[in-house]
Amino acid sequence: MWFGNKIFITCVLAFLLFDGLYCCQLSDPYRFVLEEAPYTRLCSTKNILTVNGEFPGPTIRVNAGDQITVDVYNKGKYNVTIHWHGVNQLRYPWSDGPEYITQCPIQPGGKFSQKLILSTEEGTIWWHAHSNWTRATVYGAIFVYPKPGTTYPFPKPDAEVPIILGGWWKRDIMAVYEQFIATGGVPNQSDAFTINGQPGDLYPCSKSGFEYDGLVHCIAPYIY
């Protein structure tokens, strides 16, 4: 359906493929620009909130024990925070993301530099917006490779593919949210479940033959 059967998929833990080559200059902050971008799924197009125009958002690649900074610029319409799901942020909750718990939201036009402090985490975790339903489209993977010079406790796989599960509403996500709050009922169900931002082939008007040709990782995000 969306990737070749030759690829060996392994869930939860990420694998080291290009030992020593994948890494970036850790001293440079990541730049996350929250902005709307048009996306078409199930034969309809709408603007969604993205990071840097990407859906799912960019992948962060770090090593266990690293510290990085992500500069988050909010060019969208809503207050937003970004949460680093699975990063323990030991003794540093101040940029962990839950709005009004550890930080105020980043207001439209604003910027906040969020520090991520990796400690013993290793494998594949994820980041997502942590305010309202901005989280429905604002998310991505974090690959935490072992410390340089060490390896994961299993043999090196042939390939790596990230698998990011999500949902897609054809309606504007805030309209669904506002109706849900106003009625006190349950939110309308999504029109499709997605893998790496793509609905499966069996949904009406799904783009068929989607293939993912990349490195294997697996995460299973959930809304809360």
Distance, CA of 173 to CA of 76 (rounded, Å): 14
- 69 or 190, CB closer to ligand NAG? 190
**Minimum distance, C-beta of residue 130 to ligand NAG, in the bound complex (Å):** 10
Q: Using CB under 6 A as the criterion, which residues of the chain lie in contact with ligand NAG when the complex forms?
A: 79, 104-105, 107, 131-132, 171, 174-176, 178-179, 188
- Burial class for 6, CB neighbours closer than 10 Å (0-12, 13-18, 19+): exposed
How is residue 57 written in tokens? 């958002």
**Minimum distance, C-beta of residue 121 to ligand NAG, in the bound complex (Å):** 28
Cβ-contact 188, 168 below 8 angstroms: no
**Minimum distance, C-beta of residue 191 to ligand NAG, in the bound complex (Å):** 9
**Minimum distance, C-beta of residue 114 to ligand NAG, in the bound complex (Å):** 16
- 110 or 221, CB closer to ligand NAG? 110
